[in-house]
């Protein structure tokens, strides 16, 4: 006898809440204003208030001009009563919710049991790095690429249910939210569509030809033509150590780790074909995975030659999409695949559900244990959810700078301040900063002038641990700096102190 609709809805809601809690715990909690938000959040703040970051606009714009999600977010903040902190938290929960719901729907087309479907969702809560790609299966903070990826996963779910029109609409949304993430899902869906809808092949060929012509036009007659340059040594220097940018330099281990992902997908699919379990959409799924892999391999000669566009596309993140299907395939195999010669039994036979339930329970314990370890042992200083900036000396000194200086003030701080102290000066103080080593180097990928700017400033600062009054004043004269924020005494005029941090006037 079926449960009443209200009871079923309550069960679904409770299950989703459990999965969200496990996912957030496995990311060591949710945090605001960290990691990639160091350049994404200032872009939004500048879209809200164009008077911010008069000097750093050139750095922020190299990626901001490629995306519209920051303008969309800025419009929502400006035209609603929702704060940016609340909006980010809501979007993060939504991205995880859409991702997990999509996994459930895809698993429903693979599995014979709800326990297996739950096992797939639990496996998806185990956050992990996609080897040497600079991407994780999901993040512990909001970024539009996470919501874009979730929309792509929803497109895969629609594809699994033979709703290709809805799938393409969802991929279009993914591309608006984050162009390159949307692009990889579009490549995957193109492969799936060709296999699932042979009658659409001619239309897809024409659409692909039109897209290529538009791309060629954009890359030849617009400022995008700069992306066809070959990166020289000066351009490459700031981000040369970022392994995810240059897969041609990967050692054997990362190659094996990433190439095993499509092999898992294909192997499980072939097993299902042999046992007459595979549906038509699975051939489409595999075709999409193979097309992604082919796209990645085809990009390697261009990356090796340092063609700007090929490097900037970061094609290694194709494995982020493939990883999702590999996780689902492997989880299904653990829960339901049978050994050679093992007879199949009726679905309702005694013991039939035992193995999927055991796999689900093991994954539940693993996700709960790993999430607890991440929060309690690895990061005991973190809250489960921190929806605003943490209350720390660093954040308070940033607030003082924000309220006690003009919008065009220029700050000198440790180039590594973002990861050392938790947040960027551009977020805590909403002021220009001379350089932020890690994130500015990542943005240098998109523009040669920015790369030279970042490298020259890092070299001008040198070892920040040895910075003294003389060198600080020299930097101030060269770069028109107003304030120094540092965690030690310097023989300059101190204007504020917050815990271990001092603020000195530089002119």
Do 248 and 336 share a domain, yes or no? yes
Q: Is 330 helix (H, G, I), strand (E, B) or coil?
A: helix
Do 320 and 427 share a domain, yes or no? no
- Rounded to an integer, what is the distance from CA 433 to the centroid of its chain? 25
Transcribe 255-276 into DSSP letters.
HHHHHHHHHHHHHHHHHHHHTT
- Rounded to an integer, what is the distance from CA 39 to the centroid of its chain? 13
The reported pLDDT for the residue numbered 7 is 74
Do 136 and 268 share a domain, yes or no? yes
* Over residues 435-443, mean pLDDT: 91
- Which long-range contacts does 10-19 make (Cβ < 8 Å, 24+ apart)? 15/118, 15/121, 16/97, 16/100, 16/101, 19/100, 19/121, 19/122, 19/124, 19/125
Do 201 and 325 share a domain, yes or no? yes
The reported pLDDT for the residue numbered 144 is 94
Count of the separate structural domains present in the chain: 2
Q: Binning pLDDT at 50, 70 and 90, where does residue 5 land?
A: confident
Do 462 and 354 share a domain, yes or no? no
d(CA 284, CA 353): 28
d(CA 291, CA 375): 38
Provide the residue range defining the domain that includes 265: 83-341+350-378
Across 20-24, 173-177, 195-199, 316-320, least confident range: 195-199
The reported pLDDT for the residue numbered 228 is 80
Do 283 and 167 share a domain, yes or no? yes
The structure's pTM equals 0.92
Do 256 and 119 share a domain, yes or no? yes
With a cut of 50, say whether residue 186 has pLDDT above it: yes
Do 274 and 132 share a domain, yes or no? yes
Does residue 22 lie within any of the structural domains?
no
Does residue 64 lie within any of the structural domains?
no
d(CA 441, CA 372): 34
pLDDT in tens, 84-119: 999 999 999 999 999 999 999 999 999 999 999 999
* Over residues 235-251, mean pLDDT: 88
pLDDT in tens, 401-427: 999 999 999 999 999 999 999 999 999
Nearest to 55 by CA among 474, 453, 486: 453
Q: Binning pLDDT at 50, 70 and 90, where does residue 223 land?
A: low
Do 210 and 324 share a domain, yes or no? yes
């Amino acid at each position: 006898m079926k449960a009443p609709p209200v009871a079923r809805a309550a069960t679904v809601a409770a299950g989703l809440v459990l999965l969200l809690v496990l996912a957030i715990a496995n990311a060591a909690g949710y945090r605001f204003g960290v990691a990639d938000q160091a350049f994404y959040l200032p872009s939004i703040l500048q879209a809200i208030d164009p008077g911010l970051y008069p000097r750093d606009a050139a750095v922020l714009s190299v990626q901001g001009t490629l995306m519209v999600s920051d303008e969309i977010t800025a419009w929502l903040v400006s035209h609603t009563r929702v704060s940016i902190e609340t909006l980010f938290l809501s979007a993060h929960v939504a991205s995880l919710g859409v991702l997990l719901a999509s996994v459930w729907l895809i698993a429903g087309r693979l599995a014979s049991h709800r326990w297996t479907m739950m096992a797939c969702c639990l496996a998806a809560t185990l956050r992990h790095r996609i080897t040497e790609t600079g991407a994780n299966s999901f993040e512990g903070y909001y970024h539009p690429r996470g919501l874009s990826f979730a929309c792509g996963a929803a497109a895969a779910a629609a594809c699994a249910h033979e709703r290709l029109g809805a799938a393409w609409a969802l991929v279009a949304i993914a591309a608006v939210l984050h162009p390159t993430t949307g692009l990889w899902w579009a490549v995957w869906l193109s492969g799936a569509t060709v296999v699932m809808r042979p009658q659409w092949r001619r239309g897809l060929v024409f659409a692909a030809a039109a897209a290529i012509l538009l791309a060629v036009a954009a890359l030849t007659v617009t400022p995008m033509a700069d992306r066809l340059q070959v990166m020289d040594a000066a351009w490459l220097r700031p981000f040369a150590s970022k392994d995810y940018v240059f897969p041609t330099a990967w050692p054997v281990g990362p190659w094996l780790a990433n190439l095993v992902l499509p092999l898992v997908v294909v192997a499980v699919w072939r097993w299902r074909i042999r046992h007459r379990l595979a549906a038509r959409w699975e051939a489409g799924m595999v075709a999409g995975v193979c097309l992604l892999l082919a796209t990645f391999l085809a990009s390697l000669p261009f990356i090796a030659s340092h063609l700007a566009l090929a490097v900037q596309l970061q094609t290694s993140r194709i494995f982020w999409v493939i990883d999702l299907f590999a996780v689902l395939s492997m989880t299904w195999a653990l829960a339901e695949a049978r050994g050679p010669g093992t007879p199949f039994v009726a679905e309702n036979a005694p013991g039939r559900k035992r193995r999927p339930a055991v796999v689900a329970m093991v994954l539940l314990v693993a996700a709960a244990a790993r999430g607890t370890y991440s929060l309690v042992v690895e990061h005991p200083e973190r809250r489960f959810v921190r929806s605003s900036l943490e209350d720390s000396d660093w954040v308070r000194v940033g607030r003082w700078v924000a309220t006690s200086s003009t919008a065009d003030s220029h700050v000198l701080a440790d180039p590594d301040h973002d990861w050392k102290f938790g947040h960027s000066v551009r977020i805590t103080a909403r002021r220009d900063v001379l350089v932020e080593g890690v994130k500015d180097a990542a943005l240098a990928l998109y523009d040669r002038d920015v790369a030279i700017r970042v490298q020259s400033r890092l070299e001008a600062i040198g070892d920040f641990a040895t910075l003294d009054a003389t060198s600080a004043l020299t930097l101030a004269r060269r770069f028109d700096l107003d304030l120094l924020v540092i965690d030690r005494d310097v023989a300059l005029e101190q204007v504020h102190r917050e815990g271990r941090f001092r603020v000195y006037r530089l002119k």
